[in-house]
Structure 1
Amino acid sequence: MGPSVQKLLEIAGTPFVRDIECSIESLDHLGEIGTSIRDVLARKNGFFCFESALRFFPSVTVETSWGLAEWNSSDLWKADYRGLANNIFCFAEDVFGQQFAVCEGKIGTFEVETGDFRTVALSLEEWASMMLLDYNQMTGFSLAHEWQVRYGPLRPRHRLMAKTPFVLGGEYSLENFAALDSLQLMKTLGNLAHQIHALPDGSKVKFKVI
């Protein structure tokens, strides 16, 4: 385990799951990154970091968080992306529900409003280093902090969703965000991403919270 991953674990909150046993066979296909995720879960089985702006999913679903297996199942929220999320394995998320995922041996961000995947790192150590160096940009920490100062702490399974999505011209301001259950958020934005994927600029879409 590299120094950046160790540092991230040190500053993270208490684990979501006290039982540190982790036996997720589905991580094997992720290669070295999967091994690194296993190592993290063996030390701290799911956690929040940066005042809950970053969530690292635990091995199993508990009251405070979805677990890796269920969160990555094809019939939970991925179905609403209608193929756009089929090839990714999500292991963490930022305060806006943006997914940090593994795809073809690389770590990237899955843009929940558009369904696009953008590579950001080649290992979990590199990803953790980026988190520590620029956690505000990577997790939305500043806005999450300000929002929670004004409106109170986010519920464990809630994330912040833009009332008017960024892709539709929404502003990056406190007034444009509302707390929403993470599953509801993903299903809603999955429907949006499906509509706008590959559409030319200026096309009309229907945005409705599911």
Structure 2
Amino acid sequence: MSGSTTLLIEIGQSWGWTGIAPVQVVKENPFGNLLAQDTNGKYWRLCPEEVSCEIIAESKLELDLLFEDRSFLDDWYMTPLVSLAEDLCGPLPKNRKYHPRVPVVLCGDYGGSNLVTVDQIDQLRFSGDIGRQIKDLPDGSEIELKVVE
């Protein structure tokens, strides 16, 4: 099975609860953010560190327009954060992504000892599982995080 097929299957399994049914990954960045096209031609942004996956464009034309927007480009390329991550963690080995130990949605930050590299598939599983568990909680809710090995 090719890497892209594995990635599509994992997105569907780990994030399918959002409604995404991916057919292709269009872009990815060093933090594991993915732009994926679904079976209806819509484009989704999966953002593991923010534990989010949502439609950002209804068509290729809308996606192209997003990539002309400076604010979107700054957010997508994450240049200052990628530079910080490279300084703290070194260059990315194959199939690994930068990721906060404690996801941003759980009050983690992007700097210092909170940044690590993780296997991309593990990142998708971890963030998708957390997202599914907290999706109905109001912002600011207290949670108890249990790590089971």
Q: Which residue of 1 aligns with 2:26?
A: 91
Separation in 2, partners of 1:187, 1:87: 16
Number of aligned residue pairs: give it.
144
Deviates more, 1:89-98 or 1:112-121: 112-121
Q: Is the counterpart of residue 81 in structure 1 residue 15 in structure 2?
A: yes
Deviation at residue 137 of structure 1 after TM alignment: 1.8
Q: Is the counterpart of residue 198 in structure 1 residue 136 in structure 2?
A: yes
RMSD (Å), alpha carbons: 3.1
Instruction: Name which structure has the greater RCO, CA cutoff 8 Å, separation 6+.
Output: 2
On the 8 A contact 2:44/2:53 being kept in 1, the answer is no
Q: Which residue of 2 aligns with 1:161?
A: 99
Deviation at residue 153 of structure 1 after TM alignment: 0.9
Q: In 2 relative to 1, CA 118–80 (structure 1 residues): closer, same or farther, beyond 3 Å?
A: closer
Q: Which runs of 5+ in 1 are unaligned?
A: 1-59
Larger radius of gyration: 1
Q: Is the counterpart of residue 148 in structure 1 residue 86 in structure 2?
A: yes
More strand by share: 2
Provide Cα deviations, 1:79-115, integer angstroms capped at 9, x if missing partner: 2335225423433222221221124323231233434
More helix by share: 2
Q: Is the counterpart of residue 119 in structure 1 residue 65 in structure 2?
A: no
Superposition map of 1:177-188 within 5 A: 177-188=115-126
Superposition map of 1:13-28 within 5 A: none
TM-score by length of 2: 0.75
Q: Which runs of 5+ in 2 are unaligned?
A: none
Q: In 2 relative to 1, CA 166–139 (structure 1 residues): closer, same or farther, beyond 3 Å?
A: same
Q: In 2 relative to 1, CA 164–182 (structure 1 residues): closer, same or farther, beyond 3 Å?
A: same
Separation in 2, partners of 1:158, 1:71: 13
On the 8 A contact 1:108/1:119 being kept in 2, the answer is yes
Of all paired residues, the percent bearing the same amino acid is: 18
